[in-house]
Structure 1
Amino acid sequence: MDKYESLAFDTALSTLVAVLVYVLLKVSVDGYRQWRARAKVLIVGSGPVGLTAALIAARSRKVQRLVLVEERSRTALLARPQQIALDPSSVRFLLQLGVDFDNMEGCWQNEHFFTKVGVFQEYLLSMLEQKRQQQVDIRIQLGTKFTEEYLKKIPTSDLPRVIVVCDGSCGGSSSVLGITSDYIVESCNAYGANAAIERADQRQVPTPEIRAHSLYFDLSAYGMEFASATKEVHSLQPSALKPGSHLKIYGTFRNRYMALACPVSDSKVVKFLRHTPNSSIMKNIFHQSFNAYKTDIEPRVNDLTIHLLQCSRRLFEIMLSHRRVTAAYIEGDNVVVTIEGEAARVLNFDTGCGVNFGLKGLESLEEFIYKMATAVDQNDVFEALSQKIRHAKQLAEDFRLNGLTVTMFQ
C-alpha cells in the first residue's frame, strides 16, 4: 500500500469514526432529552372519565404538572348515587392503572364490576392524592369552573401543553377553547325506550344487572293482534342482532332503571310502538317487564307505586352523536386539546354502561401525552393529533356497528 492509499484509508477511517461518534452522541442526547421531557397537563372535569384521565397522566411519567379542574365541590361529587357498570375491557384497563377493586365497594357478575359513581370517584381521587404525596405535582381544584377568565389568569409560562376536556355532554369547555360544537349524528340501526323508578324505602347498594332477550309483547288489549305479530320476520341490521325486544334492568334497588331495545324492523308491533299516541302503553310494558324479571328480594311495582315509574312515551330511534372535532391545536399558545367521554360522543339511549364508552377513548391518551411531551416540531404535534383523531373516529364507528350488540343484545 503506497502512501496515498494509506492516507485515503486513514481519512475514510477517521470520517467513519467521526460519523459513528456523532450518531451515538445524537442518539444519547435525543434519548436523554426524551427521558427528561415533561408536559404540563390540564384536565377539565372529574367524573369517572376525567379522573381516569388524570390517573393516566399521573402515571405516565411525562407530566411536569397536572391540574384537575372541577366545577362541583368534593361533597357534591362524592354524593352521586348513580350506579355504573364496568365491563371486562374497562376492568382490565383500570387494573393496569393500579385500581384495586377488592378495596372498592361494589359487586361482580360475569366479569362486570358494579359500583356507585361517587364511590368510584372517591377511590380515584384517593389514588391521585397518594400520587401527590409521592412528589408528583398534582393540583386538584374542586369547586372551580373552567372559563375564559380562568384561562386568562394562567401565566404564559404556566400554560398547559395538553388540555383534556371531560366535562360531559352539557359542558362548555370546548367552546371556551374555541372548538366547534358540530356533531355527526348517526343511526345505530335500533329502536329503544328507557324507564326509571325511584323508591326511597329501598337500599342504595350496588346491584348486578338483569337481562332478558327475544321478548314479544301481547298488545291485543290495544288493538294489536298478538298471534300474527310473533310470526313476523324482523329485518335485522346488522344481521348478528337477534329478533324481538331486549330488556335490561340495572341500577340500585332505590334507583332502578330499565332499557328496552330492538333491531330496526318493519313489523306491525314495532311500527305501532314507534307511533302510538297512547303513552300508557310503554308504561304498561315496562311495568309488566319489571315485575316479570326483577330479583326475588325486591318489591313488585303495583297500583300504589306505578306512579313512581317514569318512561319514554314510545320507541325512538337510537342515535349516536359524536363531535366532528375531537382533538385540536391552538397554535398561538402551542396547546393541544383532546375531548373525551360524553363531551366527545353521546348516545340518546341509556344502557347503564356509558362510562365504558368514555374509558375506551382514554386507551390512546398515555401515548398522546408522551408524543406531546417529546415533540420536537409541529410535524410531531400534528402526527400525534392525527393518531388521536383516528382513534376517536374508529371508536365511534365501532360502537355504531357493534356497541348495542354488546351492551344490550347479548
Structure 2
Amino acid sequence: MSSLQGEKAAGVGSEDQYRALACDTALSTLVAVVLYVLLKVSLDGFRQWRARISVLIVGSGPVGLTAALVAVRSGKVLRLTVVDERYRSALLCRPQQIALDPRSVKFLLGLGVDFDNMEGCWHNEHFFTRIGVFQEYLLSILEKKKQSVDVQVQLGTKFTDEYLRRVQQSEGPRIIVVADGSCGDSCSVLGISSDYTVESCHAFGANASIERLDQRQVPTPEIRAHSLYFDLSAYGVEALREHRNPAAKSGFHLKIYGTFRNRYMALVCPSSDTRMVRFLRHTANSSIMKNIFHQSFNAYKTDIEPRLSDVTHHHMQCSRRLFEVQLSHKRVSAAYIEGDNVAVTVEGEAARVLNFDTGFDVNLGLPWYGVPCGGLFYRTATAVDQADVMEALSDKMQHSRHVAQCFKQTGLTESMFQ
C-alpha cells in the first residue's frame, strides 16, 4: 500500500516538473521572440532613419523643380542635382502663364510655397502666374535648402551619354526623374522607349496665339465662354437650324488665357457630326478659324485690354481647322537600370501631353504629382532589396496610367467644358 502511494506521488511530481519545464520553455521562447522583434524593429527603424538616396532631376520646368522640392522635403535625399540645358536667363524670361488649380495650390502650400510673396493673381481659388516667376521662386527655395541637403543646380548643362557616364563613375544616383518636356531626349540617353500611346479625348479643338508688344507681361485670370455658335452663313453653313435641333450637342467652349502681352485662345467642342463641325474640320480656308478667334476675342476680352485690330489680326497664329484632341502618354513611364542600381521615373510633359495640334500642351504632371513621387523617394531609400524598388516603380506606373485614364474621362470637361 505504501509503495503504491509512493509511485503515485512520484508520478505527480514528474507531471509538475514537466509542466514547469514546459512553462519555462514557452516563457523563454516568448521572451526570445519579443527580444528579436524589438531588436528587428529597432534596427529597421534605425536603418530607415539613416537611409538616404541621391536624386538627379533632368529638367527645371515647373514639374522638375516641384520634384526637387518634394525630394528635399522627403527627408530621405542626401544629394540632389538638377540639370537643365537652358541657362537661368532663358528659364526666367519664359512668357507663358501657368494656372495652378486648387489641388496644386494645396499641395504646394504643404511644400512651403508662399503665394503671397509671388507675382500673380487669384481667381476662383486658382493662382495665375508666369512660368518664369514660378521657376524663380522654386529655385530660391532650393537655394535655402543647401544647409540641410547637398543641392546642386546645374543650368546650362545638357544631359548626355557623357554626362551620365561621369555621374556613374562618381556616385551614381539611385533615382533619376526625367522632366525635360515632350521634346526632350533624356529617355533615349537612358535607354527608355520613346513610344507613346495615343488616345482620343472625344473632342475637337483649335488654338490661337498672339503677341502684343505694347502690352505688359501681367498675369490674368482665365476667361471662359460656353455654348457658342458662329455665323458661317457666308460660307454656306447655317448654325441656327442646328442650334434649334434638340438632338444637336452643345456648342463650342472658348478659353482665353495668358498675360496681356502673350494671349492664347483654345476652342473646343465635344465630338459630333453637325454640319458646322464637319465644315470646320475639313475646310481648306485657313482664314475662317482666324476670323472666329478674332471675333471671339473681341467679344469676351477683359474691359481693360484693347480689341484686336486688323493689324494684330494678321499677326495671329492659329490652327487651320478643327483637329481631334488627343492625349498621348509614354508606354513606359518608369524603369529600373539593374547594372547601375538606378530607378527612373518620367514625369510631366515628358510623360503625358495633350495635343491641340499647335503645341499648346496641357501639363498633367503637377496636380497629380506629390504623393506618389514622395512615396517613391521614401520607398526607394528604405528598400531592402531590388524587389522593393521594382514594386515601388510598378505602383508609380499604375498611378501614371490612372492619371491618363482620369483625364480622358473628366479632365477635358474640367479644364474646358465648365
Q: Which residue of 2 aligns with 1:221?
A: 234
Q: Does 1:110 align with 2:124?
A: yes
Structure 1 contact 351–408 (Cα < 8 Å) conserved: no
Q: Which runs of 5+ in 2 are unaligned?
A: 1-14
In the TM superposition, residue 266 of structure 1 has moved relative to its aligned partner by 0.7
Q: Which runs of 5+ in 1 are unaligned?
A: 237-242
Structure 1 contact 340–362 (Cα < 8 Å) conserved: no
CA 1:321/1:233 → structure 2, altered by over 3 Å: closer, same or farther?
farther
Q: Which residue of 2 aligns with 1:27?
A: 41
In the TM superposition, residue 362 of structure 1 has moved relative to its aligned partner by 4.1
In the TM superposition, residue 299 of structure 1 has moved relative to its aligned partner by 1.0
Please report the RMSD computed on the Cα atoms of aligned residues, expressed in angstroms: 1.5
In the TM superposition, residue 352 of structure 1 has moved relative to its aligned partner by 7.1
**Can you list the C-alpha shifts for 1:334-391, whole angstroms capped at 9, x where unaligned?**
1110000000010112797834544413431000110000011122112101110010
The correspondence for 2:295, drawn from 288, 312, 333, is 288
**Can you list the C-alpha shifts for 1:73-97, whole angstroms capped at 9, x where unaligned?**
1111111121111111111111111
Which AA in structure 2 matches 1:369?
F
CA 1:362/1:147 → structure 2, altered by over 3 Å: closer, same or farther?
farther
1:63-82 matches, cutoff 5 A: 63-82=77-96
The correspondence for 2:281, drawn from 265, 274, 277, is 274
In the TM superposition, residue 235 of structure 1 has moved relative to its aligned partner by 6.4
Q: Which residue of 1 aligns with 2:145?
A: 131
Q: Does 1:10 align with 2:18?
A: no
Which AA in structure 2 matches 1:371?
R
- Per mean C-alpha deviation after superposition, the further-off stretch among 91-100 and 343-352 is 343-352
In the TM superposition, residue 233 of structure 1 has moved relative to its aligned partner by 4.6
Q: Which residue of 2 aligns with 1:167?
A: 180
Structure 2 contact 63–365 (Cα < 8 Å) conserved: no
Question: 1:177, 1:109 → 2: CA distance?
Answer: 41
SS at match of 2:369: helix
The correspondence for 1:302, drawn from 309, 314, 318, is 309
Q: Which residue of 2 aligns with 1:408?
A: 416
In the TM superposition, residue 298 of structure 1 has moved relative to its aligned partner by 0.9
Structure 1 contact 191–316 (Cα < 8 Å) conserved: yes
SS at match of 1:305: helix
Which AA in structure 2 matches 1:342?
E
Structure 1 contact 361–392 (Cα < 8 Å) conserved: no
Structure 1 contact 183–322 (Cα < 8 Å) conserved: yes
- Per mean C-alpha deviation after superposition, the further-off stretch among 200-209 and 149-158 is 149-158
CA 1:401/1:170 → structure 2, altered by over 3 Å: closer, same or farther?
same
Larger Rg: 2
CA 1:359/1:43 → structure 2, altered by over 3 Å: closer, same or farther?
farther
CA 1:234/1:54 → structure 2, altered by over 3 Å: closer, same or farther?
farther
Q: Which residue of 2 aligns with 1:86?
A: 100
Question: 2:167, 2:157 → 1: CA distance?
Answer: 14
The correspondence for 2:376, drawn from 362, 368, 372, is 368
TM-score by length of 2: 0.94
The correspondence for 2:189, drawn from 143, 165, 176, is 176
In the TM superposition, residue 11 of structure 1 has moved relative to its aligned partner by 1.9
SS at match of 2:112: coil
Q: Would you say how many aligned residue pairs link Structure 1 and Structure 2?
A: 403
Question: 1:351, 1:248 → 2: CA distance?
Answer: 16
Which AA in structure 2 matches 1:114?
F
Q: Does 1:259 align with 2:273?
A: no
Structure 1 contact 194–257 (Cα < 8 Å) conserved: yes
CA 1:101/1:160 → structure 2, altered by over 3 Å: closer, same or farther?
same
Q: Does 1:317 align with 2:324?
A: yes
Which AA in structure 2 matches 1:257?
Y
CA 1:353/1:170 → structure 2, altered by over 3 Å: closer, same or farther?
closer
The correspondence for 1:49, drawn from 54, 60, 63, is 63
Question: 2:194, 2:406 → 1: CA distance?
Answer: 22
Q: Which residue of 1 aligns with 2:7?
A: none
The correspondence for 1:38, drawn from 52, 65, 87, is 52
Which AA in structure 1 matches 2:177?
V
Question: 1:88, 1:361 → 2: CA distance?
Answer: 14
Q: Which residue of 2 aligns with 1:389?
A: 397
SS at match of 2:198: strand
Structure 2 contact 130–219 (Cα < 8 Å) conserved: yes
The correspondence for 2:115, drawn from 89, 101, 105, is 101
Q: Does 1:354 align with 2:362?
A: yes
Question: 2:106, 2:283 → 1: CA distance?
Answer: 43
CA 1:63/1:112 → structure 2, altered by over 3 Å: closer, same or farther?
same
Which AA in structure 1 matches 2:220?
T
Question: 1:244, 1:5 → 2: CA distance?
Answer: 86
Question: 2:396, 2:282 → 1: CA distance?
Answer: 41
CA 1:47/1:219 → structure 2, altered by over 3 Å: closer, same or farther?
same
